[in-house]
Each structure stands twice: as structure tokens, then as C-alpha cells.
Structure 1
Amino acid sequence: MENTSGKAPKASFAAMAHPAYRLQFISYVFAMMADNIEHVISYWYVFQKFHSPALGGFAVLSHWLPFLLFSVTVGGLADRFDPRRIIQCGMALFIFASAGWAFLFVTDLLTVWNAMFLLVVHGCAGVLWQTPNQLLLYDIAGPQHLQSAVRLNAMARYLGVLVGPAVGGMIMLALGPSKGIILNTIFYLPMFVWLFWAPPRAIVVVTRQAVRGLADIVQTIRSISTSRVLTSMTLLAGLTSLLVGNAYSAQMPGYADDLGHGDPGLLYSLLLAADAAGALLAGIVLEGLGTVRSTPRLAMLLAGLWSLALIGFALAGSFAVAVSLLFIAGFCELSFNTMAQTLVQLNAPAENRGKVIGLYNMAGLGMRAFSGVSVGLIGAWIGIHWSLGFAALAVLLVLGGLHFFTRHHAVVSGRL
């Protein structure tokens, strides 16, 4: 029987009761901050050297495409091998990328081709980190406190998004890009070192399934097709990422320019901060309440509210209204994404949990590589406000179809 309501523990911030989780959380914040610092410094240096919009577009693709191509494969590896060691491989690649940037900055040997290589390395490091880390959360917090662990890690991600760029900018101003990127390698070390002492799996499921690339993706899709929870939450993650994702963040300078008459850099920063601040508040409120249940219906409802907030933002003519709506969008986005992820983890079969979570990440993160088409490329034709509004409206329509699908599947299965 499917777990359609991930029951949250009554205690606030329940996952923090586990000492191992507290250490994981701290190291995760440092690693996420380092990830964003590297983006700030490397993107700035690359832009100053090449002034290439095409290379900027490649940076976005190289960040998300590895999730689309390799998430299920990495999940299969995490089913067979210790996820702690796979995460350490990801941290090692992050360190290699930062050290590589530093070497090329100092020697002035940076070319378009080796910049593309390091961007790909950085993207692959993210895949080796995120899916195994979600398995690690299950091992540390267990099913009872899993929702709290997922939500707190999402908060840590947004903390990195908020703090990373600011710290990266200060480091670059104080030390310069070369020394700053060298310093950044240190921030990956807490996660790498802690994993040597992280607790192993409480329950080890022996699996000898081979890792088969595309065949694994097809097999995993078939395996979840009988589960309305796994299917609906994976579709929710994939469709929202495909149609909107975080593509509007890349267009934020344009929105800031259209919305205000002040310093566009300040307005841009405030818009980005509003989205992240809303997400942080969502984590704090939901963790503080400690009684909110994760259900497919609530996740889809919050995704609908997220879409409505983005439609309002796209149509807003006032900067204050736009900031408020982005704050609401951030609140709803963290809420529905963490609920969906929790439900996937709770309902994933133990013998191939890594592949199922990998498929969810392939949908939720990998599909972001294409959201730039619906918001960015179409925005160049009809305007970024209209493109975002239509994309968010498409999400609403898709959610209606997804809700009908889940109800119909439940009726056919005799669950309603």
C-alpha cells in the first residue's frame, strides 16, 4: 500500500535531533555555498575574458544536462555501492574544478574549450552529490523524520543561494578571482571529511543489478508506473521544471529594468533575494509547525499557487507587488518540491531506491535545461513578461490534467 501522506513528526526541526544530521546539515551549507561562490567567480571571469553569450548559455546547459543524462545511473550506483563514497567523488570533482579555474586564472591559459571542460566537470560533480545525498538523508533520519530532513536540506540549499553570491563577491573584491577561487576549495572539505565518519546504512539491501544507462531509465519508469504517488510526483517535478523551472532567475535583470527606475543592480538583487527569502520562511514555518503532512494533493495545490504567483509577477507593474509575489512563489516552491521529494523517498522500493530518486532528480533538475526555451527564447520573441506568464499558465493547465490522472488512477485501483 502506498504512503500517500508523509506524516511529519510533531516535534519542530525533528531531524536536528540526530547528531549525524546536524553535521550533515552544516557541511551541506558549506558545500552549497562553495557551489554558488564558484559560479559567481568563474562566471564573472569568463564573461570579462570572452564576453560570450553562447558560453553563458553553455554554462546553464552544462549545469543541468548531467542531471538529465546521469541521475538514474548515479542512483543505480548508489543502490550498489556506498553513497558516502559517491558523494566524496562529487566533492573531489568540485575541488578539482575550483583548483582548475585557479590554475587557469593564474597562468592566463584560460580558453573557451578548457572553460567548457571545467563547466562540465562542475555539472557532473553536482549529479554525484545530490542523488546519493538524498539516500543518505533516509539512512540518517529514517522515514519518521525524513520530511524534516528533506525540508531542512532545501533550506540549506537556499541559504547557499542567498549567502554564496554575497560571500563570493566579497572574496573576489578582497582577494581577486585567482586567490578567491583557491580559497573556495576549502569550503568543500567539511562534507568530504565528515563522510568518513558518517553513519553507514542502517538497512543494507543487497542488489546485483547492473547499471545499464538508458535501459535503467526505461525500466525505472516502468517500475513506478503502477504507483500513482511516484508517478504523479515525478511528473509534477518534471513538468514544472520543463515549463518554468528557475529560468526566470536568468531573466531577472530584465524584469528589474522594466519594474523600477532606480539602480538596476540593487533591484535585481532584491528580486532574487525575495524568492530565496520566501523559500527560507517556508522551511522555518513548516518545520516550526511540525504537523504539516505531505500529500500529493497538497503538493499539487501549492504548485498551482506557485504558478499563480508567477503569473501575477509577470503582469505586475509595481516593484513592491512584484517582490511580494516572488516571496510567495519562493514559499510555495520550496513547500511543494520538498513534499514531492519526501513522498518519492517514502514510496520508493528499498531495492532500487537510488534509481527511483535518480529518476525524480532527472525530472526535477535535468528538465531545467530546457526551461530556458519556454521563458528565455520565447521571451526574446514576445517579451519575457508574456513568456513567463504563458509558461506559468501552462503549468496550471498541466496540473489540472495531472490531478485528473491521479484521481482516475486511484479510482481504477480501488483506492478512493
Structure 2
Amino acid sequence: MPLALIERWQKNPIYQALAQHPYREYVLSNIPNLLGLWIQRTTVGWLTWEMTHSGFWLGAISMAELAPSLLLTPVAGVFADRYSRIKLLRITQGLIFLQALLFCILLLNDLLTLPVLIGLVVIQGLVTSFAQPSRMALISSMVPRQHLTSAISLNAIIFNLARFLGPILAGAGLVWLNPTILLGCSATGYCWFWGILWYLKIQEKHVEQVRQTAPTSLIQSIRAGLHYARQHPLLGPWLAVFVVLCLGVRQLAELLPGVSDLLFYQGVEGLAMLSSGLGLGAVTGSIWMSQQPYEALPRIFRFSAWGLCLLLAILSWSPSFVLAVVIVAGCGLLLMVSGISTQTMLQLEVESQFRGRLLSLYGLVLRGGPAIGALLVGTTADWIELEWSLTIAAALTSLVLWRMLAQIPNNTAQPPGKMPFMTAPPSSPA
């Protein structure tokens, strides 16, 4: 019986992804880094709420991380297509560690004011936005094509396990310890991953491809990537729907402090439970997605879009906190399903010389959309009740999606990478 279980596990897509070197070392060493990320995010959110008690400032903090990336992320996508992605990650990870260390020192010496906090978040947004295209595109250099979907899902599983455990640790730390210790733990996790990155040896074929092409300007390269996305018959409408989802319903994580305190009067303990429920649902969604076939991704994406709108509206009027935690967990599952399906389609359908730019567009939408949505919903909640603000967001998103989702087929019979489309002009490579 144990032998049969071992053989069954070895056939599991997740095991097959972990069997790839150096992907295994990369993804496992990323665990303390991601734990540090979610501990810091939860701590910063609560510090902001303690300073202001305002939904507007919760949204403003998210916007502060977004604002610099509006200009930098497209540039980062070009860099990810032109230069070594692992080298770019080493540089940016070191800067993230230094930012967290400065955060900790300022808080320890009672020098952390709201303007300073916003400034540090802006720095984090700059560095993170520059790193994200390289981080996502690097997966295709470590994993064979047939294991790519499982590798993306495994990344999401680990990310959301950190999302589940990080807020629990942060919530306990906020109750029993203090924010300075939590930020110190975050800096330690960042430093660990930074050190591991220097030992990884990854062969990046896109660098050789770029060297064989004629150089183009930065603006031309960005325009070529946008042209590529716009002309693609599947990814064009898919990304348009994803933009609407990010603006309308994916801002839930940023607004959880307000949901906990304003809707259910649960404070920091409630924030930890809601954040953990969101992470647990996302882990469940990631595991489920690792087993799904490529052909089902469009149908799954459509279902997740409608489900998110429905659950957000129900959450706004939940009669009990326990039910709210369950609903938030369901939202976490659907958020991850929509995100993994979108990133998988991009990784499989996009040519390697455009992958960094398309993934930078995905990353910009994924980070920027919820931040803008949180700012809009949070500002509206300062004028009307938060439950009405969330309900209006869900209703408006549903109305917009009604026509847009019809442009995405329920399923596709085409194998990965075989969708016909018009690529960018040959004169505009990376």
C-alpha cells in the first residue's frame, strides 16, 4: 500500500514540477520570503488603520504601492525580455531587504509617521514592480513546457500558504508582541531568499535570442508588446476581462481591515481570521487548478468571474462573522482560480521574446487594479456605508462583464501555443 501511494504521488503533476532542478530549490527557498511579505503587508495595513481609522487611507496605502509601478512595470517587462532575469531578481531582492530593514529601524525609534510609511510603501512598489516580470517569466526557464501549469499552480500554493500563515503570525504578533519584531522577521525572510538566489544557476535562452535581433528603443519594445496583446484573439479579450475583475472585485484583500472593524466589529483578531480564510481558500483553489486541463481554462475563468461578483455582494450583508469568514475563503478560491488561469494562458500562448512584457502587463493589472479599486471603494465607504460600497462595486462589475465574457469561448480545442493570431511587426522585437 505505501508503495502504491508513492507511485501515485510520483505521477502527480505537483511532484513532477518539484522534480525539476533548479525550480525545486527556487520555490522552496521562496517560502520564508513570502511569509515575510504577508507579515509585512498585514502589519502595515494595521498600522495604517491605527493611525487613521479611515477606509480612504487603507486604499491610499495600496495606491502608494501602485503609483510608481504605472510607469516602471512596462519598462521592467522590456528589461525582463532583454537581460538575465535571475540577475535582475538578485538586485531587486537585495533592495527589498534593505527597505524592510529601514522600516524596522524607523519603527523601533518611533520615527514612523504616516508620510514616512507612505514613502516606504512607494519604495517597495518601485522595487516589486521591477522584479515581478522577471520573477514570473523565470519559471519557463526552469520548468519544461509540459510541467508549466503545475509549476505555476505550485507557486500559487506556496504563495497562498504564506498568505494563510503570514496573517496568523502577524495577528498573533500584533496581539502578543509588537510590530517592530514582525517587521524584523520580514526582513530576515527577505535576506534568506536573497542569499539563495546567488547560488542558483539557470540557463536563460531568451538572452541569446535577443542578442541575435536588431536593438530597438524602449518605447518601440513596449509598443510591440502592447500590439502583440491587442492582436491576440484569445488573450486580448481575456486580459480586458481580467482588468475589469481587478478593478471591481479583487480589492477585497486590501479592504479586510475595514471589513473586520466596520462590518463585524472584530478588530485585529477578526482581521487575522479573515486574512487566513482568504489564504486558505486560495490554497485550495491553487491545488485544484494544478489538476485542471488546459482546454478547460476559459470555462473555469468565466465561472470564477461570476462567482466573485456574487460572493462579494453576499459578504456585504452577511448576518454573522463566521459566515463572512467562509465567504471570504470562497472569494480566495475564486481569486486564485482566475489568476492562475490567466497567468497559465499567458505563459503557454506567448512567444518567449514577448513573455516578459505580457507578464509585466498582467502583473501591473493584478497589482494596480485592486489598489485603484480599493481606493474607490474605500473613498465611497467614507461617504456611505461600506456594505453599500461593496455591493455597488459587485453590481457594476457584473454589468460590465455581461457582454465582455461572451468574447471568451467556454473551452478551446487548440493545444497550448497553437492559437492563430497576428503577432507584433517583425521590426519590433525585444
Q: TM-score surpassing 0.5?
A: yes
Q: State the Cα distance separating 1:377 from its structure 2 match.
A: 1.9
Q: State the Cα distance separating 1:19 from its structure 2 match.
A: 3.5
Instruction: Tell me which stretches of 4 or more aligned residues in structure 1 moved more than 6 Å.
Output: 172-175
Letter paired with 1:119: V
The reply on whether 1:271 has 2:271 as its aligned counterpart is: no
Aligned to 2:402: 400
CA distance in 2, matches of 1:22, 1:370: 35
Q: State the Cα distance separating 1:199 from its structure 2 match.
A: 3.7
The reply on whether 1:124 has 2:126 as its aligned counterpart is: yes
The reply on whether 1:231 has 2:233 as its aligned counterpart is: no
User: Which deviates further from its counterpart, 131-140 or 159-168?
Assistant: 159-168
CA distance in 2, matches of 1:185, 1:116: 18
RMSD in angstroms over aligned alpha carbons? 3.2
CA distance in 2, matches of 1:26, 1:390: 41
**1:198-237 CA-partner distances (Å, limit 9, x unpaired):** 3423523225544635x65444222222212221232122
CA distance in 1, matches of 2:175, 2:321: 29
Aligned to 2:12: 11
User: Which deviates further from its counterpart, 38-47 or 98-107?
Assistant: 38-47
CA distance in 2, matches of 1:303, 1:11: 28
The reply on whether 1:163 has 2:165 as its aligned counterpart is: yes
Counterpart among 325, 338, 341 of residue 339 in structure 1: 341
What secondary structure, in the 3-state scheme, does the structure 1 residue paired with 2:203 have? coil
| Alpha-carbon contact 1:171-1:180 (below 8 Å) kept | yes
Q: 1:169 to 1:252 in 2, by over 3 A?
A: closer
Counterpart among 210, 218, 223 of residue 206 in structure 1: 210
Aligned to 1:66: 68
| Alpha-carbon contact 2:78-2:222 (below 8 Å) kept | no
Aligned to 1:379: 381
Q: State the Cα distance separating 1:251 from its structure 2 match.
A: 3.5
| Alpha-carbon contact 2:286-2:340 (below 8 Å) kept | no
**1:295-325 CA-partner distances (Å, limit 9, x unpaired):** 3232122221222222222233243433332
Aligned to 1:252: 256
Aligned to 2:90: 88
| Alpha-carbon contact 2:247-2:373 (below 8 Å) kept | yes
Q: Percent identity?
A: 22
Q: State the Cα distance separating 1:177 from its structure 2 match.
A: 4.2
**1:324-351 CA-partner distances (Å, limit 9, x unpaired):** 3222221111112101111011111222
The reply on whether 1:100 has 2:105 as its aligned counterpart is: no
Q: State the Cα distance separating 1:80 from its structure 2 match.
A: 0.8
Aligned 1:311-350 pairs, distance under 5 A: 311-350=313-352
**1:266-302 CA-partner distances (Å, limit 9, x unpaired):** 4443333222211111122333x46564532321222
The reply on whether 1:222 has 2:223 as its aligned counterpart is: no
User: Which deviates further from its counterpart, 139-148 or 187-196?
Assistant: 187-196
Q: 1:28 to 1:294 in 2, by over 3 A?
A: farther
| Alpha-carbon contact 1:307-1:393 (below 8 Å) kept | yes
CA distance in 2, matches of 1:257, 1:181: 23
CA distance in 2, matches of 1:381, 1:100: 36
| Alpha-carbon contact 1:140-1:199 (below 8 Å) kept | no
| Alpha-carbon contact 1:90-1:128 (below 8 Å) kept | yes
Letter paired with 1:30: P
Letter paired with 2:157: M
| Alpha-carbon contact 2:132-2:360 (below 8 Å) kept | no
CA distance in 2, matches of 1:320, 1:113: 36
Q: 1:405 to 1:184 in 2, by over 3 A?
A: closer
What secondary structure, in the 3-state scheme, does the structure 2 residue paired with 1:69 have? helix
Q: 1:166 to 1:381 in 2, by over 3 A?
A: same
Q: State the Cα distance separating 1:43 from its structure 2 match.
A: 5.2
Aligned to 1:5: none
User: Which deviates further from its counterpart, 303-312 or 398-407?
Assistant: 398-407
**1:110-162 CA-partner distances (Å, limit 9, x unpaired):** 45554333221111221133221111111111321111111121222222222
Q: 1:321 to 1:83 in 2, by over 3 A?
A: same
Aligned to 1:140: 142
CA distance in 2, matches of 1:103, 1:268: 25
Q: 1:77 to 1:100 in 2, by over 3 A?
A: same
The reply on whether 1:284 has 2:290 as its aligned counterpart is: no
| Alpha-carbon contact 2:161-2:283 (below 8 Å) kept | yes
CA distance in 1, matches of 2:232, 2:176: 53
What secondary structure, in the 3-state scheme, does the structure 1 residue paired with 2:67 have? helix
Aligned 1:104-115 pairs, distance under 5 A: 104-115=106-117
Q: 1:390 to 1:55 in 2, by over 3 A?
A: closer
CA distance in 2, matches of 1:388, 1:355: 32
User: Which deviates further from its counterpart, 248-257 or 14-23?
Assistant: 248-257
CA distance in 1, matches of 2:321, 2:131: 37
CA distance in 1, matches of 2:11, 2:396: 36
CA distance in 2, matches of 1:414, 1:91: 38
CA distance in 1, matches of 2:318, 2:58: 28
| Alpha-carbon contact 1:233-1:343 (below 8 Å) kept | no
Q: State the Cα distance separating 1:354 from its structure 2 match.
A: 0.7
| Alpha-carbon contact 2:377-2:389 (below 8 Å) kept | yes
Q: 1:41 to 1:383 in 2, by over 3 A?
A: closer
CA distance in 1, matches of 2:399, 2:312: 14
Q: 1:252 to 1:10 in 2, by over 3 A?
A: same
CA distance in 2, matches of 1:298, 1:170: 36
What secondary structure, in the 3-state scheme, does the structure 2 residue paired with 1:295 have? helix
Letter paired with 1:342: T
Q: State the Cα distance separating 1:34 from its structure 2 match.
A: 1.2
Q: 1:329 to 1:293 in 2, by over 3 A?
A: farther
Q: 1:175 to 1:271 in 2, by over 3 A?
A: closer
Q: State the Cα distance separating 1:60 from its structure 2 match.
A: 1.4
Letter paired with 1:156: I
